[in-house]
Structure 1
Amino acid sequence: MSLFRLAFVAMLSLPVGLEAATCGNTGAGFETWKTDFAQEARRAGVGTAGLQALSQAQYATRTIAADRNQKSFRYSLDKFMQVRGADTIVAQGRKRKARNPDFYAALERQYGVPAGILIAIHGMETAFGGFMGDSQVVSAITTLAYDCRRSDFFRPHAIGALKLVDQGTLTSGTLGARHGELGHTQFLPGNALVYGVDATGDGRVDFYNITDALASTANFLRQNGWKPGRGYQVGEPNFAVIQQWNAAGVYQKAIAIMAARIDG
């Protein structure tokens, strides 16, 4: 699910003074771009495993098609919530909270983010893990980094994905969404690298594990300014933090509305 997480960190950007690999609008130049981008990635600290994953990446035509057709974000709020199944998300979300209240309460104690917000995001992004994507993350995110439409936005996330491969969090075959988002709540790779939390304590951050994924989501929100105990509807302090999670206005408002209904 896109329009894209807005928060990503300057540390992932290209070093000052270095030219970016030349972008393109078709797949014709992708292999040449990968060779150039590998030099940028190496300078940014990507290691052998990440560079190998980059070399194996393929131009993702389905990603480009999805990027050109995000029509649901142009719907009215009512239409968007209908199409995205808001009533179902709320109903299922209430049941999930009731089945495991201690889990959500522990997250709120640690990060200050109420259950409704995390549950609404989880439901909106992947139907509570029911579908976490069918596109190879590395291929998708490098395709977007190459594509001229938003290459500056996606290059740091491509670097992030390759570093996640180095860390063992991703492989070249890991599946995610069409825009390279991964796991239960669809983190873009650069944000996954920065905000990921090993909540299970097994020594690795696994965004396909619900505990790690929701803790990481709560951490993202808290680190981007979430104020515990404050409101999150339009005009309230924490609504600005929801805006950092996704750039689409209808998405932001839908999350706030659904969260209040889940927690209500």
Structure 2
Amino acid sequence: MIFQLFRRSLSHSARANTGKETVQRRVGRRLAATLSAALLCGLPYTAMAATCGNTSAGFDSWKRDFAVEAKRAGVRQAGLNALANTTYARRTIAADRNQKSFRYSLEKFMQIRGANTIIAQGRKRKARNAEFFAALERKYGVPAGILIAIHGMETAFGNYMGDSQVVSAIVTLTYDCRRSEFFKPHAIGALKLVDRGAITGATKGAKHGELGHTQFLPGNALNYGVDWDGNGRVDFYNMGDALASTAYFLRKKGWKPGRGYQQGEPNYKVLKQWNAATVYQQSLAIMGRKIDG
């Protein structure tokens, strides 16, 4: 492994310069030493990047290399421990290879997602929590309908938030060659959430590593999390924090308060930031409008 070659080269360099170099104990100094060794060997630093794979065979080796990248990105010991303890998520890979629902027609997609139930329950939820949704709209400019539609679509209003380990799932997707670069910031995000105590290695979510009531990808959870109840902790498994975070995410992605979100209206394009599938965006817009009345 290249990292092992770096370590051997570093050890040789250290022996040749006794008294001039000390043992590198802190993470930052180890990384600097690794870079120096790479240059000494005539190897480009980019060669250290963890190499993706399409089977479980190289996963453990990849994790050791990815730990170097994670440390460089600011992940601390708790996150690194969580990375070391991840397992290759076979169900996640199977699900990623078989995403058929987004290929359905709009009518079929809304049927299998239970759109009529989401709309009916959504109206009741809006009425029961009128002040909460009004407060969100005052602060972020996002109306209740679209937030409720997302909540219903993603987890049936929190009734099913997933049965896969978030960290293992997102790390596996980062290792997998299919969309490694897309998932990498979310893997780093998940490890930093562990550092913060927001999640653990055992936290459950969707098969693609999404978490909480509205199924945030971990990198987005890290960047857009809102502590709505003011208890000092962002908890995506708390409905208030999750929906406030969702509203904040949409606002930061360009949502314009008071403007429409149907096709052709200013806020419709923001829905793509939540989910890239056209049929999903269309469904959200329709359900949100019907919930808002």
With normalisation by structure 2, the TM-score equals: 0.84
Aligned to 1:93: 122
Q: Distance in 1 between matches of 2:215 and 2:112?
A: 19
Residues 203-262 of structure 1: per-residue CA shift (max 9 Å, x gap):
110000000000000000000000000010111100011111000000000000000000
> What is the aligned counterpart of 1:143 among 153, 165, 172?
172
Which of 138, 142, 146 aligns to 1:109? It is: 138
How many angstroms apart in 2 are the aligned matches of 1:155 and 1:27? Answer: 17
Indicate the RMSD between aligned Cα atoms, in angstroms.
Answer: 1.0
Contact 2:48 2:65 in 1 (8 A): no
Partner Cα distance (2:129, 2:219) in 1: 30
Counterpart position of 2:26: none
Q: Which has the higher contact order (CA 8 A, sep 6+)?
A: 1
Unaligned runs of 5+ in 2: 1-44
Q: Equivalent residue for 1:25?
A: 54
Question: Structure 2 residue aligned with 1:58, among 56, 64, 87?
Answer: 87
Q: Read off the aligned partner of 1:259 and give its amino acid letter.
A: G
Which structure 2 residues correspond to residues 122-137 of structure 1 after superposition, within 5 A?
Answer: 122-137=151-166
Matched, 1:78 2:107: yes
Q: Distance in 1 between matches of 2:108 and 2:140?
A: 32
Where does residue 205 of structure 1 map in the other structure? 234
SS of equivalent residue, structure 2 residue 82:
helix
| Displacement of 1:167 | 0.3
Matched ranges for 1:1-264 at <5 A: 19-264=48-293
Q: Distance in 2 between matches of 1:17 and 1:208?
A: 38
Q: Secondary structure at the match of 2:68?
A: helix
Name the larger-Rg structure. Answer: 2
Q: Deviations over 1:128-149 (max 9, x none)?
A: 0000000000000000000000
| Alignment-mate amino acid for residue 61 of structure 1 | R
SS of 1:221's equivalent in the other structure is: helix
Instruction: Supply the distance in 1 between the matched residues of 2:48 and 2:275 (Cα, whole angstroms).
Output: 29
> Do the aligned partners of residues 18 and 262 (structure 1) sit closer, same or farther apart at CA in structure 2, a change above 3 Å counting?
farther
**Which residue identity does 1:255 align to in structure 2?**
L
Shift of 1:20: 2.7
Moved over 4 A (4+): 16-19
Partners in 1 of 2:143 and 2:154 — Cα distance?
Answer: 17
Deviations 1:37-75 (A, max 9, x none): 000000000000000000000000000000001100000
Q: Distance in 2 between matches of 1:95 and 1:18?
A: 56
SS at match of 2:150: helix
- The CA deviation string for residues 163-185 of structure 1, in whole angstroms up to 9 with x for no partner, is 00000001000000000000000
Rounded Cα–Cα distance in structure 2 between residues aligned with 1:157 and 1:99: 34
Structure 1 CA distance, aligned partners of 2:265 and 2:123? 23
Q: How many residues align?
A: 249
Superposed CA offset, 1:63-98 (max 9, x none) = 000000110000000000001000000000000001
Q: Percent identity at matched positions? A: 76
Unaligned runs of 5+ in 1: 1-15
Partner of 2:35: none
Letter in 1 for 2:274: W
Task: Report how far residue 100 of structure 1 moved.
Answer: 1.0
Cα distance in 1, alignment partners of residues 167 and 229 from structure 2: 25
- What TM-score comes out, normalization by structure 1 length? 0.93
